[in-house]
Structure 1
Amino acid sequence: MKSISIKKKVWMGIGLTVLAVMVLSSLLIFFLYERLYVDQQISQFEREGQALAALYKDEGLTEGFYEFLHWSEETSDARYVVTEDPMELAGGAPFEDDFGEELISFDERQVLLQGQSVYVRREHPRFQQELIGVAIPFIGEEGRLEGAVFISQPLTDLYELFSNVAWWLILIVTLAGGFILFMGSRLTKQLVGPLLKMKQVAEKMESGDFSARIQLVRSEDEFVLLANSINQLAYSLDQVESNRRVFLANVAHELRTPLSYMIGYMEGMEEGVIDKKKGLTVLTQEANRLNRLVTDLLDLAQLEGDGDTLDRHPLVFAELIREAVDTVLIRADEKCIPIQLDLDEASIVVADRDRMKQVFINVLTNAIAYSDCGHAITITLTVEDGRAKVVVKDSGFGIPEKDVAKVTERFFRVKRGRSRTDGGTGLGLSIVQEIIAKHNGTFQLDSIENEGTTIVLTLAEYDE
């Protein structure tokens, strides 16, 4: 089933609103006519009839009575018929005398004979038009029915009087409908316009174009906030796509470099220009570097995934740090770099042993690689405010101020030639940062060029 667009839904809502206004207005007009005007007219007839009945009771059919009757007829569109014989009341039709029987029925005459007023509203038998009227009995001094007055008026006369008001009401309803359509058009433009712009941007984003933005020139409302959120999403996706392209280019470059070395040495060995022993040594080094690169890429991909693959257990933090130091100690000894420890033996954290050990191996490997012989590395472990704090400080080459914020980016190297010589992949600190983040810890790096680098890691202490 084909869905209805928002624009059509809005216009359908406006149309139904206009229709509802017209129906309600028609009902209002009918109510005003039926309940207010017609009922008021009947009440007016009854008051005039009661006044004539009171005058008749005081004076009878005197000249003063007829003067008042003529005055009432001249000031009103109603017709008055007075009789002193109740049985002749049937001949009191306002249009034809001999049609009175149709206007005042037998049952209604019986009501008059009992001294009660009769209200009439029915269609005239000959002229096919509706009449309203009131028959008021004349009660004598002895309480007998002596006559009656019948006051009537065709509703067509009332329609003519009411039509002027009705036309004004119709005009008001028409203007109201036009105003609703006008406001509906503006509302549709304000509601649907931004949504269509958002739809266009979303379609471009779906096709991989994240450069489009939504431009809304209006006050701070929900649409502007939504547009800003979509623009921010597009910007973030654009950054992700840009980073992905850079990452793929870096991966291709990093894989191509050892492969090109390996191909070059194999060709040299085949042609006899490179000693086989030396060539095999270089091939082994490049193969190992390639293996480390692939391993780091897999680690990073696993850490950046949505799932939690960490195997957390309570660990004695100082013991884990010593294990990491023992792993890199051979390389540190080769460069005559002492590693000094000041560890709080009581610190216990909940962590993945292998991943956390990988953190310190990566950090210490960097510190050793970027330090000269004889420059010590210090590791301090303390507990502050319920958190374990590890500070790894070296006095190596340091990092230029402009590069400090970039060192955790993938494949970033401060000195590309040196890091390749030392076997680095440019992913070590990226992996460190991801592992610490997975443990809900914090990672901070400060460095001064030619003075050294300090890395501060914090993790929550184990709470029994």
Structure 2
Amino acid sequence: MNKLSLKIGILFFCIIFGLITLMLFLLHEAVVENRVQEELDALQSRGNSHRTVLEKHFNKEIIDHVILMESESNTDVVITDEAKYILGSSSKLNSFEKYIKKDIGTIPYSGEIVEENWKREPVISTLSPVKINGQTQGYVYMFQNTESVHNLIQSLNKHFLLVGFISIFVTIIIIIFLSRGITKPLIQMKKATSQINKGNFAVTITRKSDDELGELAKSIETLATDLNYLKRERNEFLASISHELRTPLTYIKGYADILLKRNPPQEEREKYLTIIVTEINRLNLLIKDLFELAKIDKNSFVINKEKIDLSIFLKEIERKLTPAINEKNMNFNVHFQNNLNLFADPIRLEQILLNLLDNAIKYSKTGSLVALDVWKEKKSIHFLIKDNGKGIPEKDIPYIFNRFYRVEKSRKRSLGGTGLGLSIVQELVHAHGAEITLNSKEQMGSEFEIIFKENEK
């Protein structure tokens, strides 16, 4: 048995053993008390029966008859007059005198218990008054040896001990199976996490239930899947960055060599310089995205919120995108409610919208539509960027905001970005306390919705 199951087993045993011991003790005390009370009630009832006979004829003949009846039973009787002078006894009086002389006080007609301490006293005793015409004429004392009570209790103790041992044995068996049943999936999870720690993310854990342990096993499998995905994406990212850096550097070096060594005509020279500038800009953009992510990771960037008049702000966005829209002969519709204000960082908000709109333009065909709708709903401002372009495959949607993820894997220079843009957008949106969602269907287009909540400053 492993250490965990042993610890759980010992803990369960201590708890259950304590509960069983407590319950058996309380039950034993209750049963013993009840049995002793039954003996006392029976003794009192027997004394009351003799009292009833004596009340009809309280004479020596009847007294002797009662004494004779008790001499054949396991109880004893002592009959006295009202002054507690003994008129008859079924046994020797030496052991009964102290109980007869005991001052009890007022005695009810139903009788009174004279002695009930069966643990210390040799007998238990009851008293029944004999009343004739409302006057007390004598008393009937009933005695029973406590040896019979002790024998009864000993028999009861044996039964309780037997039940206790059986309960403990069954408890141990149950605990063994229970602790193993609980710890087995935990041991599997420990082995799985050890494999994950060694870099083996292809782990599976048997789940037999949907309880917390089942959810934990599912979480570990999900973690392994995510780590495997991140490892794969990291490798792809390194390959992508390597490619993205190598390609512009190759262009820059190649054309710079041509300019230095061949001294081409002015027209070609300008062409080569234009290519060099383009590739430098591409490098600059990549480095800028990496720098943005580095700042986000270190929480070193600052969101400077201020009141933005969205009417002016959105018109400026439209103006900046008009050349790109016209170049692809596309339609760009901007709809917004009047008098809308938003407390946000204008530079970061522009970065968010331009990134999303640039993607919409880039992945849409010539002549298609890109729309930006802005409206207020209760205290929230909603931004909806939609297009009818290529859309995003369903399998890619869960990962679209992950860093370094690119739907376009071909690395075409016209389409393939660094895979950092949407990740930066999501981080900036969350930094504003806002939320971003995506709804997309392949070949039908995409919709990105950003919700800025609690807009009041």
Q: For residues 140 and 422 of structure 1, what CA distance do their matches in structure 2 show?
A: 120
User: What is the 5 A alignment of 1:163-312?
Assistant: 167=155, 170-171=158-159, 174-175=162-163, 178-179=166-167, 182=170, 185-186=173-174, 189-190=177-178, 193-194=181-182, 197-198=185-186, 200-201=188-189, 204-205=192-193, 208=197, 215-217=206-208, 224-261=210-247, 275=261, 285-300=278-293, 309-312=302-305
Check the 8 A contact 1:379/1:391 in 2, yes or no.
Answer: yes
User: What is the 5 A alignment of 1:14-33?
Assistant: 14-33=16-35
Q: For residues 308 and 264 of structure 1, what CA distance do their matches in structure 2 show?
A: 33
TM-score (norm 1): 0.67
TM-score (norm 2): 0.68
Q: Partner residue of 1:221?
A: none
Q: For residues 320 and 193 of structure 2, what CA distance do their matches in structure 1 show?
A: 48
> Could you tell which deviates more after superposition, 192-201 or 270-279?
270-279
Gaps of 5+ in 2: 264-268
Gaps of 5+ in 1: 219-223
For the residue of structure 2 that corresponds to 1:315, the secondary structure is strand
Deviation by residue 1:126-162 (Cα, 9 ceiling, x = unmatched): xx98134568899999x998x98775443224545x3
User: What is the 5 A alignment of 1:111-122?
Assistant: none
Check the 8 A contact 1:53/1:139 in 2, yes or no.
Answer: no
1:130 aligns with 2:122: yes
Q: Partner residue of 2:266?
A: none
Check the 8 A contact 1:341/1:378 in 2, yes or no.
Answer: yes
Check the 8 A contact 2:79/2:88 in 1, yes or no.
Answer: no
Aligned residues: 429
Deviation by residue 1:237-272 (Cα, 9 ceiling, x = unmatched): 223312321332132112212443477578879998
What amino acid does structure 2 have at the position aligned with 1:94?
S
Q: Cα distance, 1:226 vs. partner? A: 1.3
1:414 aligns with 2:408: yes
Q: For residues 448 and 110 of structure 1, what CA distance do their matches in structure 2 show?
A: 107
What amino acid does structure 2 have at the position aligned with 1:448?
Q
Closer, same or farther: CA 90–412 of 1 in aligned 2, 3 Å: same
Q: Cα distance, 1:193 vs. partner? A: 2.8
Closer, same or farther: CA 282–90 of 1 in aligned 2, 3 Å: farther
Identity of matched residues, %? 15
Larger Rg: 1
Q: For residues 66 and 459 of structure 1, what CA distance do their matches in structure 2 show?
A: 105
Deviation by residue 1:190-237 (Cα, 9 ceiling, x = unmatched): 47733552465267447647655554546xxxxx33134223422432
What amino acid does structure 2 have at the position aligned with 1:26?
H
1:61 aligns with 2:52: no
Check the 8 A contact 1:132/1:155 in 2, yes or no.
Answer: yes
Q: Partner residue of 1:78?
A: 75
Q: For residues 164 and 367 of structure 2, what CA distance do their matches in structure 1 show?
A: 87
